[in-house]
Each structure stands twice: as C-alpha cells, then as structure tokens.
Amino acid sequence: MIIYHAPAPLPYTPLKVAFVTGLSDPNSCSLSLLYRQFMAELDCLEAWKIYLNFPYIPGSNQPENTPILKAGLANWSQFLGARSPKYRAAIRFHLANIATSSERSFFIAGSCGLEILNQAWTAAIAPNQLHIMALGPVARTYSPMPCTMVQGSRDYISRYFFSQVDVLVPGVNHMGYVQNADVFALVNAQLRHVVSSL
C-alpha cells in the first residue's frame, strides 16, 4: 500500500492546496479527471496545487479510473484501518511532510479523507497552519483542526456520521461534490480567504 512509502520531497511554497480522500486504488495517488479539473479551476497559483491524492507519492500520470465498487471497498477498508497504530504512524509522516513544506495547508477532504486527517493530526501541527474543506465527511468524530463541513442534502452516507454540518447543499449525493457549482464556489471562497491571510 502506497501509504507506507516514504514521503516524497516537496518544494517549499507559502501554501499547499491538496485533496485528501481515500485511495480508490491503494497503490496509486492518481486523481480522476474530475478532481484534476476541480483543482485546476481553483483561484491560487499553480505552483501551490498538488495534482495527486494523499499521500502525494508520484507515480503513474494516468487519471484514476477504478471501478466504483472496487473503489468503495478500498475506501471503506481505509476508514476501518485508519486508527491502527501502523497506519496512523505512516500518515502522520505524510501530513508532517506537507506541513513543513509550506506556511499553510488547504485540504479538500472527500468522504473518509476527514477520518484520515483526524488520525494524522498531532499537536506538533498548529491549528492556524491548515484549514480543511470536508465534502461529504465520513469520520468517527468532528475534526480537531479548523474545518468547514459541507454536506449534500442527498448524501445519506455522510449524514449517518454527521447530522450537523456547516453548509448543506441541496441535491448533492455522496459522489456529486466535485461536479457541483455551489460546492466549487464554497471551496474557492474559503481558499481565497486563506490566500488573503498569507
């Protein structure tokens, strides 16, 4: 599993903007075309964007096209295993790698990405060093880090875990966040706020 690889070197930038979702293929950090397009349209410098999924290990440049059932099972497995000591130790190295290569980090967490970040967080990372936009959050608890929770009105998976969120978006299901214009506007507005504070 790629999460156990050593962190990849990252250039220093004032801000890092990156996705954190479960890996549909546990051996690849590739993002789907939809996720890459979402990232490309965000209002910040290209050098600040990471076009890979957590833990950001370069590899194949091909966009991920894992079948949905296989991807769902892989994500569920990562959610269940996120609290294991071995997994937590591995993901904390990767989160620290991001934190030390930038002044601030802006994470777009999809589904169990919030659980991954919750388990990766340590007190060594200052709360003002990062912000999370959690889209359809799936996690055991609310985040100890600054986090805006966005949930679609038709996302019954996320609602099972969180009945109270910051923003409810009409009509969006668990797989529909990155295609939704209102969700993009929310993420982009928060990103602009973070950029303005640098």
Domain of 184, in residue numbers: 2-196
The predicted model scores a pTM of 0.92
Segment 20-74, tens digit of pLDDT: 998 878 888 989 899 999 999 999 999 999 999 999 998 755 555 665 666 566 6
Segment 147-178, tens digit of pLDDT: 999 999 999 999 999 999 999 999 999 999 99
- Mean residue pLDDT of the chain comes to 89
Distance of alpha carbon 48 from the chain centroid: 15
Of 21, 32, 25, 30, nearest in space to 1 by CA: 25
Q: Cα separations (Å) of 27 from 113, 117, 182?
A: 16, 19, 32
CB 109 within 8 A of CB 20: yes
Q: Cα separations (Å) of 138 from 83, 85, 101, 103, 189?
A: 14, 20, 27, 27, 23
Residue 123 pLDDT:
73
Residue 124 pLDDT:
73
> What's the CA gap between 46 and 56, in Å, rounded?
16
| Dihedral in degrees, nearest 10, Cα atoms 160, 30, 131, 114 | 20
Residue 185 pLDDT:
98
Count up the domains in the chain and report the number. 1
| Rg of the chain in Å (alpha carbons) | 15
Q: Read off the pLDDT of each residue in 99-106 and give the average, rounded to a whole number.
A: 94
**What percent of the chain is modeled with pLDDT above 90?**
67
- Kindly report the CATH number assigned to the domain that includes residue 21: 3.40.50.1820
